[in-house]
Amino acid sequence: MTQHKPLDKPLPLPWPSAFDAPLGPGWQPTFGAQPLADGSARFRVWAPRAQSVAVHLPERGTAVPMAPLGAGCFEAVVPGVPAGTAYGYCLDGGALLPDPASRHQPAGVHAPSAVVDPAAFAWTDAAWRGLPLEALVYYELHMGTFTPEGTFAAAIARLPHLRELGVTALNVMPVAAFPGTHNWGYDGVGLYAPHAGYGGPDGLKALVDAAHAAGLAVILDVVYNHLGPEGNYLHAYGPYFSGRYHTPWGDALNYDDADCEPVRRFFIDNALHWITEYHLDGLRLDAVHGIFDFGARHILAELGAACHAQARRLGRQVSIIAESDLNDVRVITPETSGGWGLDAQWSDDFHHAAYALLTGERGGYLADFGGVGQLARALTHGYVFAGDYSTYRRRRHGNSAAGVAGARLVVCIQNHDQVANASRGRRLGTLAGAARQRLAAALLLCAPGQPLLFMGEEWGEPAPFHYFTSHTDPDLARAVTEGRRREQAGFLGDAPFADPQHPDTVAASRLNWDLPGQTPHAAMLAWYRALLRLRREQPALHNGDMARARVSWDAAAGWLVLQRHDEHGPAARLICNVSAQAQAVPVDEAGGPWQLAVWSGDAAFGGEGAQAPPEAWPGEAAAAGGQSQHTIPLGPWETALYLQGEAR
């Protein structure tokens, strides 16, 4: 970890007036370059480690001294600075550094920043108000591999596919400027600057605008637990990092140590800038268990409250969603009840339970999973580990999610992390086969939790998804390769190692858009579309009510039945054979009559079912004097969804 001398004296407060600027449509970030109405630009930077700061305009060959405002903040207003002008800061006469709050890095993270006019883009989404949390069906995508071109513009052309699929929200992996040409985005260092190779600021705005026109929300993945190692110049500016804590990814950010207030402002401003300037519908906060703050008000509580307040002023719905492996409902508990007040969190236990059961994998953290009962618990309780002992962690883990709405728990059967890590780059269909993927998809889209799909999942994309980087520092590149090899030791088995720095690794991870129209991929796509349509149309499948979800199962026989209820529509039953042998799954006669909605063994969905389940059964209408049982024949790894009611 890089060590720096502490500041010689404490930073005085109150902060300059800009620190407490009111929110609203005209809100501006505290730091960075801001074009002014008279053609000049105001530059402001927090650099308490410097005695003097100058803003340098390399195209003019001039450097303008910046006036100290106090609290380590420097400012200059420079006339005749149009959008697109290159600039950087020189600290104490040193080399030119990019702006920590740069809105654009057109030549990369080591090059000068560029002035951006945030009001220049011609938006057409004035009528868009966003979507409520419970209406979000997420589609996670990596911008660089979602299309062959790997750009925001190319993604726009694929929006009709997503709309027809039935998802409602793009969940875009981080786009903040990173070193090199390709990266997952979690090594970002220009946190205000969309990666130039994807299309830069205007490209992202065009994607969001087009998504809104298509009725799709856009959630952006942001990283507030660390910065990437290459191109990270924050150490030179001030105490952005703390030596108190350590993360697996790099130095911990300074949210609660001495002189942390401007650091907190920098990241809260970053969240507000995405929501305000880019019209984003929400943020997904990466790995919040790597954010350390033991102050009286947690940084995420403050950030979430600021984002919600700004959303109200803008008249839009904004959701703040945390990735957390803590199984701690404090993340989504209102501040008034002692929580952080975020809207939702990723809940990995559903993935782990379903994945371990369907694949038999037990490496790494999957050692805790594999039983049918754990999947049943994930469906009805959200967390599998809610204060229970974890063999993998060798301690108790989690607390209870009782009473939490399903919309607050984002669940999946595949995402970027799980494919690249737990699956060693292999997608579920490749690893376990199409039948088990269809079963997993039905469990996901009939579960009370809020579903997330990973790009290409809907057509059974066979291309792997690997971890990849393009660091330009040779020593760092070697360290990343060896570090990844060690990380994967618990999962790798006999699978080949994908070097993150090798160009073939990213090339192999790109989607093939010829496949959705081809056999057998078109049939898998039809399955996902059918399930998403039923989820959208049936209140019992989208009400997110875990309290009204009922599960029966037999671990020895390998079957599970999920029943969902809603007063505004028919009950639903998902009957699952989670075994490699055909069997007749017993179901009680409660309710009825029952009508078959979809069956994964149907040839239309790529199935090879030898015996179709009944189109209907009368349920308790046929039972004399009480409960009796009916059986539904299902082939290996098959599932059938029934709705209560007469045939239509």
Contact partners, residue 451, CB within 8 Å, separation at least 6:
137, 138, 410, 411, 412, 444, 445, 535
Is the residue at 539 inside a domain? no
The whole-number pLDDT of residue 255 equals: 97
The whole-number pLDDT of residue 525 equals: 98
Return d(Cα 312, Cα 607) in angstroms, integer. Answer: 48
CATH number at residue 554: 2.60.40.1180
pLDDT digits (tens, 9 = 90+) for 392-404: 999 999 999 999 9
User: Per-residue pLDDT for 2 more than 70?
Assistant: no
Is the residue at 445 inside a domain? no
pLDDT digits (tens, 9 = 90+) for 205-241: 999 999 999 999 999 999 999 999 999 999 999 999 9
How far are the Cα atoms of 203, 246, 262, 418, 620 from residue 425, in angstroms, in the given order?
29, 27, 39, 8, 47
User: Per-residue pLDDT for 495 more than 80?
Assistant: no
pLDDT digits (tens, 9 = 90+) for 416-463: 999 998 778 999 999 999 999 999 999 999 999 999 999 999 999 999
514 is catalytic: no
pLDDT digits (tens, 9 = 90+) for 33-49: 999 999 999 999 999 99
Return d(Cα 400, Cα 436) in angstroms, integer. Answer: 29
Q: Alpha-carbon torsion 511, 517, 519, 523, what sign?
A: positive
CA 517 to chain centroid, in Å, comes to 28
Q: Which two tokens stand for residue 377?
A: 């618990």
Label residue 476 exposed, middle or buried (CB < 10 Å: 0-12, 13-18, 19+): middle
- End-of-domain residue from the set 79, 114, 149: 114
pLDDT digits (tens, 9 = 90+) for 578-619: 999 999 999 987 888 999 999 999 999 999 988 999 999 887
The whole-number pLDDT of residue 284 equals: 98
pLDDT digits (tens, 9 = 90+) for 300-356: 999 999 999 999 999 999 999 999 999 999 999 999 999 999 999 999 999 999 999
Return d(Cα 417, Cα 422) in angstroms, integer. Answer: 8
Pick 574 or 498 by higher pLDDT. Answer: 574
What integer is the mean pLDDT of 534-546? 97
| pLDDT band, residue 6 (cuts 50/70/90) | very low
User: Per-residue pLDDT for 10 more than 60?
Assistant: no
pLDDT digits (tens, 9 = 90+) for 402-411: 999 999 999 9
Contact partners, residue 514, CB within 8 Å, separation at least 6:
none
The catalytic residue among 286, 368, 461, 499 is 286
User: Per-residue pLDDT for 199 more than 80?
Assistant: yes
| pLDDT band, residue 644 (cuts 50/70/90) | very high
Q: Alpha-carbon torsion 635, 640, 646, 648, what sign?
A: negative
323 is catalytic: yes
Is the residue at 237 inside a domain? no
Q: Alpha-carbon torsion 500, 505, 507, 509, what sign?
A: negative
Say which amino acid occupies 526: A
Mean pLDDT of the chain: 93
Is the residue at 609 inside a domain? yes
The whole-number pLDDT of residue 22 equals: 62
Query: Length of the chain in residues, anyone?
Result: 648
Q: Find, among 373, 371, 370, 374, the residue nearest to 385 by Cα.
A: 374
588 three-state secondary structure: strand
pLDDT digits (tens, 9 = 90+) for 500-527: 999 999 999 999 999 999 999 999 999 9
DSSP string, 241-301: EEEEEEETTEEEE-SSSTT-HHHHHHHHHHHHHHHHHS--SEEEE--GGG----SSS-HHH
Q: pTM (2 decimals)?
A: 0.95
CATH number at residue 104: 2.60.40.10
Helix-helix angle 434-446:348-359, to 10 degrees: 150
DSSP string, 428-454: HHHHH-HHHHHHHHHHHHHSSSEEEEE
pLDDT digits (tens, 9 = 90+) for 250-262: 789 999 999 999 9
For residue 591, what are the domain limits? 548-644
Is the residue at 633 inside a domain? yes
- End-of-domain residue from the set 55, 87, 114: 114
Report the number of distinct structural domains present in the chain: 2
The H-or-E segment that residue 377 falls in is helix 372-381
Pick 114 or 243 by higher pLDDT. Answer: 114
CB 91 within 8 Å of CB 237: yes
Is the residue at 221 inside a domain? no
Label residue 38 exposed, middle or buried (CB < 10 Å: 0-12, 13-18, 19+): exposed
pLDDT digits (tens, 9 = 90+) for 559-570: 999 999 999 999
In the numeric block, the tokens 């009480």 are attached to 626
The whole-number pLDDT of residue 417 equals: 94
- End-of-domain residue from the set 93, 114, 135: 114
In the numeric block, the tokens 């179901």 are attached to 587
Number of C-beta neighbours around residue 237 at 10 A: 23
Is the residue at 491 inside a domain? no
The whole-number pLDDT of residue 619 equals: 79
The whole-number pLDDT of residue 628 equals: 61
Q: Find, among 347, 197, 239, 289, the residue nearest to 3 by Cα.
A: 239
The whole-number pLDDT of residue 3 equals: 44
CB 11 within 8 Å of CB 259: yes
Q: Find, among 343, 564, 367, the residue nearest to 447 by Cα.
A: 564
How far are the Cα atoms of 102, 303, 607 from residue 578, in angstroms, in the given order?
51, 42, 15
What integer is the mean pLDDT of 93-120? 98
User: Per-residue pLDDT for 161 more than 70?
Assistant: yes
The whole-number pLDDT of residue 81 equals: 97
CA 609 to chain centroid, in Å, comes to 36
The H-or-E segment that residue 14 falls in is none
pLDDT digits (tens, 9 = 90+) for 355-384: 999 999 998 899 999 999 999 999 999 999
Q: How far apart are the first and last CA of the chain?
A: 66
The catalytic residue among 323, 328, 499, 638 is 323
User: Per-residue pLDDT for 12 more than 70?
Assistant: no
Is the residue at 73 inside a domain? yes
Number of C-beta neighbours around residue 360 at 10 A: 11
